[in-house]
Structure formats: C-alpha cells, structure tokens
Chains A and B, each alone.
Chain A
Amino acid sequence: MSKVIIIGAGPAGLSAAITIAENGLDVLVLDEYMIAGGRLLGQLYEEPNGNWWNGIKESQKLYEKAVELGVKIYLNTPVSNIEKIDDTWVIYTNTETYTTSHLLLATGAAEAPLPIPGWTLPGVMSVGAAQVMTNVHRVKPGYHGVIIGVNVLSSAIAMELKLAGIGVECIALPKMNKVTKESGNPMDVMNSLLHVSHMAPSTFVKLGSKLMKNEFMKKLGISFFPKSGVKMWDIPIMLRKAVIEIYGDGKVEGVKVATISPTGEVIAGTEEKIGADFVCIAGGLYPLAELAAVAGCPFYHIEELGGYIPLHNERMETTLDGLYVAGNITGIEGAKVAISQGITAGLSIIHNYGLSNQEAAIQAAIHHIEQTRKEAFIQFHPAVKEGKQKLKQHWENHRNSKKLEILS
C-alpha cells in the first residue's frame, strides 16, 4: 500500500508528488502515456519577456526532481477503474491493483471535436495530436494543413507548426450547426478573440482593440473582415470562411470552404477548394473527469471552466474522503495554474495525513493559485474567475445541506 497515489503525470500530478515527497511521504504516480508531462509536453511559446516556455524541458525538470525525491512513476499504466472499499481507495490498472488512503486525480483534459463532413479520413486529427506529433515526436503531421476552429489553442499551435517548418494554409471556422454553434459564428469568435488579442502581433491587436468599443463596431468589423482573412504569423485567419467538407480518397486531399455571413450562414455559390495533406480540428478542451465520476463525486456543468467539474474546494479536496483533484480536471487553464494547484493538493494531503500542520502553507498556496491565474499569459476562458466563484458557491451549498442532514 502506497501512502499516496496520484493518477496523471502532468504538471499538476508531478508538482503534487514533489510537494508530498519533500515532506517525507512515499508517492506513486500512474500515467497511461509513455512520457511524463501530460499536455505540458507539447507546449512551446515565447513569453512577453522573450524567454521560451519549453514544455519538454519543464516536464523533464519536474520528472527528474520527483524521481530524485524517490517518487515512483509508472508510465504506460492506464487506470481502468477506482473504487472505495471500507476506508481504502482501490485503483485498478491493466497490470496491478493498488491501494491507498489518499488519492489525487490529476487526469487533465480531453479535446472536444468539431464535426465536419469527412473528418474520419486519415490525416484529420485533433489540433493537440498535431502538436504532440510535431513537438514531442518530431514527425510532421503533414506538409501543408488547414486548421478548423479559431481559438487560443489553435492559434498557439498554428504558430508551433510554422516554427517546425510545417505549412499552414489557413485557420478557418467550422460550418455552423447544432454542434459547432458559437465556434461557427463569426461574431462570437470575434468576441472571444478580443480576449486573446495580446497574443497576436500588430494588425490583429489593433483591429481587436478598435472593435472592442461597442456592439455596432463589432458588427461592422466582422462585416468588413477581409474574406481572405487577416494574417497572424503569416497564416490567414479566416473569420468569414467556413470549412464545409474535408475531401479525399482514402486520405485527406483538401477542404472545401465557403464564405459565410456575419452570423455564420453559408453564402451559396462561394465554395472553393484548398489543397491540404492534413487537417486539424480545434474544438477546445474539456476536463477529463471520468474517474471522479465513477468514484461518485457530485458534478456541476460550468461553462467558464470548460464542462462538468467534480465538486471540490480551494484546498483541492472533493466531497469524498481521501479523494483530491488538481489541474485541468478542475477547469481548463494553463500549466502554471496546474502546477500551483498540484502544490496545493500536495499540501492538503500532508495536512490531512496528520504528519504536520500545513494550514499557513495551504493558505499561501491557494493565494498563489489566484495570483498565477491573474498573471496567466494564455487565458482559455475570459471568465475563469467567475466560474471558480460559481463552484465555490456550489461547495458552500453542498456543505450546508450536509449540515442540515446531520441536524435532522
């Protein structure tokens, strides 16, 4: 029996493992991927101070520090189920079954697709898949591709593809339907882009800040948005063109795009073909909380956090004894926030284990999460803070209802 088990060797899981091991408890980390680092592995961007945030290096640092402290990290180990038997958490993997009293779920996020006719063709992949292939495995997903979905993740990865010498023909919207909704509506996309305008060079920023002013200007802006797109890192960003089909015989050969109205309706007769040997689909991320669900955590759907969130407090404790969460399972944010959440979860575990009082450290760590969130370079959702506030309210309500149950 390990003192503490962590599922997920990404930034949150590894930081928690380091924090716990530094305080003398032995830790086992399980991850189904072949390399430690999770989604941090693929990340690569230049920070405002000119330094490069290199996900591979950051992952290595965390991994090596954890191993140095004696943390056991089992990779290639998928967890298929967890359950609580008496006071013990039982973790089932494809090889062994492990038990612990304190279990941290740091399983990260999964990508949500945007359906496009032809998207099952070989050569169509999620934008995260192209990122991992390019930066981690160093194999080109193709020579020239098209990215569908205009958002923070897709624009960041488009730049990474360019950096590796891979051609990106354009980033365009998906055709609007009951699934793609806002992702297919130029006005909505424009609104969400305004919050990330600091990421883009000159033209886009200027365009963005001008359009910020009022709804009328935004409408005007999207109406006059050049049909050929606005270039960012030399890649045309097309807010007035939607991909209506991915075509190819047995594999991707290109996409068909059409001009769309400011509200997303396809304008007949405007279809044209763009050749490509790969296509990336960027529908955003959602918290991967399946293990928290099978364990029996209560869940709330919070749009600002990216989907269904297992109920937890600022100390990263769930409502279930001995079960903790950290990282993107608690809402979609950057790796730095995940790291600070991992540290907080680690401190909570040490505190609850009864080895030493960590109250002051926990409060400082919680404050640090908020600080990191405020300073985050990449914001996945402009209203993350409000989302966290909603979650806090749900936690209070849950606690109050529990108190009432005890009283009655």
Chain B
Amino acid sequence: MTRRIINHPVLDKIDETNVISFTFNNTELRGLKNESLAAALLANGIRTLRVHEESGTPRGIYCNIGHCFECRVTVDGQQGVRACLTPLKEGINVSSGETFLTSVRDWRSENE
C-alpha cells in the first residue's frame, strides 16, 4: 500500500493495523476498517468507480464529501451508495454500475 501517507511531518502517524478484506467487482482487496470506501479503493490504485450510465465514460471521485454523487457504487446490492461517505466494513461486496441496457436516442428536434 504505497499510496498511503503513514508518517506525516505535522499530523499524527496513522494506525494501519486494522486491515480487513472486501471485494470490488469480484476482486478481493484489502483496506483499513472504517476508512472511506473511496479512500480504500484509491489506496488499491483504483480510480474508476463507475461508468456514465448512458455514454459509458469512466468516472471516479470528484468532490469526495458527498455533494457530486460521481462516486456512487453498489454495496451489497444497494445501489447509489456514495463511496466517499461509506465506512469500510469487513466482507462487503462493492460493484460499479453499468451502462443502461437500452440507450436513449437524442430526441432533440435537430436529430429527428
């Protein structure tokens, strides 16, 4: 976990002992208990949390404090969960959303 800042010149050293496991898109990963799911995924080098439902473009965290909803994922079957606000628990299964099965054509007049 090279992405973590264990020692800091001003802030206290963090406790990195409480390691738990969880899955993201069926891959088993490790993170620290009660850290945010977004932080745990980033510590594992994962930036893409979902794709835009219509266009399929990849998306990751943007605001990191619950305002933008860009980091929404599915946690144990519950959709629309903001990864940045969700404390990491042992054994949770996280998956990113997919594009809609049926796309909507652009219905604006100039495209008809």
Do any beta carbons of A and B sit within 8 angstroms of each other in the complex? yes
Contact count A vs B, C-beta below 8 Å: 101
* Cβ-based interface call for A331 (8 A): no
Question: Closest residue to B1 on the A side, CB-wise?
Answer: A139
Counting chain A CB atoms within 10 Å of each CB, the highest count among B48, B67, B87 belongs to: B67
In the complex, which residues of chain A have a beta carbon less than 8 angstroms from the beta carbon of B36?
34, 137
Among B14, B34, B60, B66, which residue has its beta carbon within 8 angstroms of that of A138? B14
B85 contacts A125, CB within 8 Å?
A: no
B48 contacts A251, CB within 8 Å?
A: yes
In the complex, which residues of chain B have a beta carbon less than 8 angstroms from the beta carbon of A111?
63, 67
Q: A120-B57, A133-B39, A137-B39 are in contact. Are A126 and B62 (CB under 8 A)?
A: yes
Q: A34-B36, A122-B48, A141-B42 are in contact. Are A128 and B65 (CB under 8 A)?
A: yes
In the complex, which residues of chain A have a beta carbon less than 8 angstroms from the beta carbon of B10?
44, 52, 54, 163
* Cβ-based interface call for B94 (8 A): no
Give the shortest distance, in Å, between A146 (CB) and chain B (any CB): 16
In the complex, which residues of chain B have a beta carbon less than 8 angstroms from the beta carbon of A130?
64
A52–B42 Cα distance when bound, in Å, is 28
Chain A 109-146 against B: per-residue CB contact (8 Å), 1 yes, 0 no?
01100000000111111101110111101111100000
In the complex, which residues of chain B have a beta carbon less than 8 angstroms from the beta carbon of A354?
none
In the complex, which residues of chain A have a beta carbon less than 8 angstroms from the beta carbon of B49?
122
A125 contacts B63, CB within 8 Å?
A: yes
Question: Chain B: interface residue count, which band?
Answer: 35 or more
In the complex, which residues of chain A have a beta carbon less than 8 angstroms from the beta carbon of B67?
110-111, 288
* Cβ-based interface call for A243 (8 A): no
Question: Closest residue to B50 on the A side, CB-wise?
Answer: A122
Q: A129-B64, A139-B5 are in contact. Are A33 and B85 (CB under 8 A)?
A: yes
Q: Is the contact region of chain B dominated by helix, strand, or loop, or is it mixed?
A: loop
* Cβ-based interface call for B59 (8 A): yes
Among A34, A56, A129, A139, which residue has its beta carbon within 8 angstroms of that of B4? A139
* Cβ-based interface call for A201 (8 A): no
Chain B 4-39 against A: per-residue CB contact (8 Å), 1 yes, 0 no?
111011110010000000000000000000111011
A-B complex: 6 closest residue pairs judged by Cβ atoms: A122-B60, A129-B64, A137-B39, A122-B47, A138-B5, A122-B48
Q: Given A34-B34, A111-B63, 17 more contacts at CB 8 Å?
A: A32-B85, A33-B85, A44-B10, A44-B11, A56-B11, A78-B66, A120-B52, A120-B57, A120-B59, A126-B62, A133-B39, A133-B42, A135-B11, A139-B3, A140-B5, A250-B58, A251-B47
Interface residues of B (CB under 8 A from A): 3-6, 8-11, 14, 34-36, 38-39, 42-43, 47-49, 52, 57-68, 84-87
Interface residues of A (CB under 8 A from B): 32-34, 39, 44, 52, 54, 56, 76, 78, 110-111, 120-126, 128-130, 132-135, 137-141, 163-165, 250-251, 288
